[in-house]
Structure 1
């Protein structure tokens, strides 16, 4: 039987999905023991030669993590594709809500955007459950005081606009996640430039850049100005459209190969195109958060799992160090490519190992949540 996407209707009349329920129902029809199924093919998850064996330290080995990931996938498939109890379904929905909300928190925390964990979880759960969330609040709202206190604890002395911006960075990030996941995973569409542009628009609505550019100038459009991060200078603005076309073309070629072979490594695929996107840096702002939405949309589509990163100082710093080193190596290795050149990115192995670690942890947590409602040890 085809799965349906549960939805509610907002006060404006537009349909709002309960994203966690929709994900769980989708997984019940797509997750297989050791693989996933899609309209175009059934895939067996197989480890690619795409991992760094030093970045995780001596205690963690990507081979072992990949084996654990497949084991967890098989256990999740066994439970979700049988007849789960209502308690198990509720546990799955709650766990997915938590993972989605922590995904937003961690991605915001990497960029020092948004606010603290508690208020982020509260706002994200509203968005992901399809509940109406006011576009703005005023100083009399209890949520305003909560946001203000949270920013003060972080050492920020916020004015009204700082508080409203922090809230908007959370809400719009969650809305952008709903859009991309719905398009790429729930609706089964291929990732396209149009989906990426609209995701970025949703992410940045009402949020001006720190350099003073209005959101109306950069939201959902490729940049027309040079950008850099630290010592890394990204491609010229006039190269961005061609590089984005090439990225999507490369992704489609990789997927054609996966369909032909019947095997896929979701972590390899998602890490590769997260890395490639951020090294194009197609937008004036919001590139990091958009790249991690691409990452998790591809992980869901081809692996039925999420990877939440950046939730604390240690993982944030590790991620930023990996990203900076990978970008410097990648961009320094590139020559001048024609638009038809399909040279693949090379320096994403450290990122892949980092994502694998967190994806595996997330899947083990999902197994524990499901088995806890069977009275079993996870």
Structure 2
């Protein structure tokens, strides 16, 4: 715990040892429940819970980036997409969605929801349904789906969707790696992930939260794309959590959660600025605070699921 997690999230004290044990207990309770034959009502509630979590993931992640729209429309569109329903690309000006979105760029907001949901479906399907390892092909295709027909600030969607950036970018005073290094760093990230997974599986000590947090941190600090990096890093986070631990985390539903998440991400970036040039054995664990933040959210979603099925 001392190596993988931080004992503070922002300015708030956090006890990863206690929370980890709570998650293990909740996992055991959930295992007992799922070993029994679920009633039709429980099966329906379980399916709705998972779909609602996925929709909330899209909503919260969009809110962090000031994208998409309100929770009601996001839930409506996402639930339809996750159930495999066809969603028309354009909407009429008399429809309810247009009336609610007319004060903003309604078509862009709508597409930001739809494409985010489709991107989530693609990555989760590849990693969890088809049991593939996370690789560059999946990352690039997911980003292409996420950004379909959504222009970046100064770049048409056709020129950056599913394409590593060819410009220098930064977040405030935190510069991300030079674009010439992005392909190398992405290949290194994927190789390191597979190496880590082989090692922990061989030891029988897989910690999905620590692994997902580590590679979320690495990805977002490579910042491989012109736009969409934040949403992509949270899709990677949830896909790895779901694949390795059957967890999902909903981040950014409320403004205070968005702010805390951004503070945690900024703190991770600052550590990269300070220690990123050191040899690997000399660097501190730079995703510890993010790991604690994710752990706190895993507990919430697992508690909701156990309570609902009980």
When the two structures are superposed, what TM-score results if normalisation uses the length of structure 1? Answer: 0.79
Per-residue deviation, 1:60: 4.2
1:129 matched to 2:114: no
Matching residue of 1:306: 248
Residues 342 and 62 (structure 1), Cα distance of their counterparts in 2 relative to 1, 3 Å cut: closer
Q: Residues 268 and 201 (structure 1 numbering): CA distance in 2 closer, same or farther, change over 3 Å?
A: same
Is the contact made by 2:4 and 2:285 (CA closer than 8 Å) also made in structure 1? no
Distance 1:63 1:119 in 2: 38
User: Closer, same or farther in 2 for the Cα pair 1:343/1:58, shift >3 Å?
Assistant: closer
Q: How far apart, in 2, do the equivalents of 1:69 and 1:57 lie?
A: 23
Counterpart pick for 1:209 among 152, 159, 162: 152
Describe the superposition over 1:210-242 as per-residue Cα deviations: whole angstroms up to 9, x where unpaired: 2x2100000001001111111111000000000
- Alpha-carbon distance in structure 2 between the residues aligned to 1:184 and 1:104: 18
- Distance in 1 (CA, whole Å) between partners of 2:223 and 2:282 is 17
Change (3 A) 1:302 1:258: same
Tell me which residue corresponds to 1:99.
53
Q: Find out whether 1:357 has 2:299 as its counterpart.
A: no
The Cα shift of 1:350 comes to 0.6
Question: Offset at 1:332?
Answer: 3.1
Q: CA RMSD in A?
A: 1.8
Does residue 335 in structure 1 map to residue 277 in structure 2?
Answer: yes
2:203 aligned residue: 261
> Is the Cα contact below 8 Å between 2:14 and 2:292 reproduced in 1?
no
Give the match for residue 200 of structure 1: 143
Runs of 4+ in 1 over 6 A off after TM superposition: 56-59, 341-345
Equivalence for 1:32: none
* Equivalent runs, 1:2-41 vs 2, <5 Å: none
Any conservation in 1 of the 2:108–2:150 contact (CA below 8 Å)?
yes
Q: Which residue of 2 aligns with 1:86?
A: 40
Q: Higher helix share goes to which structure?
A: 2
- Alpha-carbon separation, structure 1, partners of 2:283 and 2:299: 26
2:117 is aligned with 1:174: yes
| Alignment partner of 1:346 out of 272, 276, 285 | 285
- The structural deviation recorded for 1:182 is 0.3
- Unaligned runs of 5+ residues in structure 1 are 1-46, 149-156, 372-378
Which structure 2 residue ranges, 5 or more long, are not aligned?
none
C-alpha displacement of 1:56: 6.7
